[in-house]
Amino acid sequence: MIYLLILSFALAAGLSSLLLIISSLLSKKSLLDQEKSSPFECGFDPKNTSRIPFSIRFFLIAIIFLVFDIEISILLPLGIVSGSLDPVSWLMVGGIFLGLVTLGLYYEWLDQTLSWIS
């Protein structure tokens, strides 16, 4: 009885291993796409020379992203402490902060930093 149980377990394990190997071989791509396997770094071709200067627009967009990312991390705790502050001071702090960030966004818009077309 115990030998039959061990034999059926070994048969099930072997069969499932065989099915996994066959499905892995059948689902594999036969030809690798060269563009998908090459690394992509900031829009530059990694096979060319590395002495090409970076565009300043790339850095400005990255800094804008960081500013708005930090803005979210500052505004989230403001909602958590809303129960411990009076509503007037809570609205003033949040409004002043959002106003400053909006003024910065307006300045960058007027400076055409946010223009996607060079």
pLDDT for residue 52: 65
Residue 9 lies in a domain: no
DSSP string, the chain: -HHHHHHHHHHHHHHHHHHHHHHHHHHS-SS--HHHHS--BTTB-TTS-S-PPPPHHHHHHHHHHHHHHHHHHHHHHHHHGGGTS-HHHHHHHHHHHHHHHHHHHHHHHHTTTT-S--
pLDDT range class, residue 108, cuts 50, 70, 90: confident
Q: How many domains does the chain have?
A: 1
Check: CB of residue 10 under 8 Å from CB of residue 22.
no
Residue 83 lies in a domain: yes
Residue 42 lies in a domain: no
pLDDT for residue 40: 59
pLDDT digits (tens, 9 = 90+) for 91-103: 898 899 889 888 9
CA distance linking residue 64 with residue 88, whole number of Å: 30
pLDDT for residue 28: 67
Residue 108 lies in a domain: yes
Residue 74 lies in a domain: yes
Range 102-110 average pLDDT: 85
Residue 51 lies in a domain: no
State the residue range of the domain holding 71.
58-118
- Cα-flanking dihedrals φ and ψ of residue 44, to 5°? -100, 145
Residue 78 lies in a domain: yes
pLDDT digits (tens, 9 = 90+) for 13-63: 999 999 999 988 887 665 555 556 666 555 666 666 666 666 777 777 788
pLDDT for residue 107: 87
pLDDT for residue 60: 76
Residue 85 lies in a domain: yes
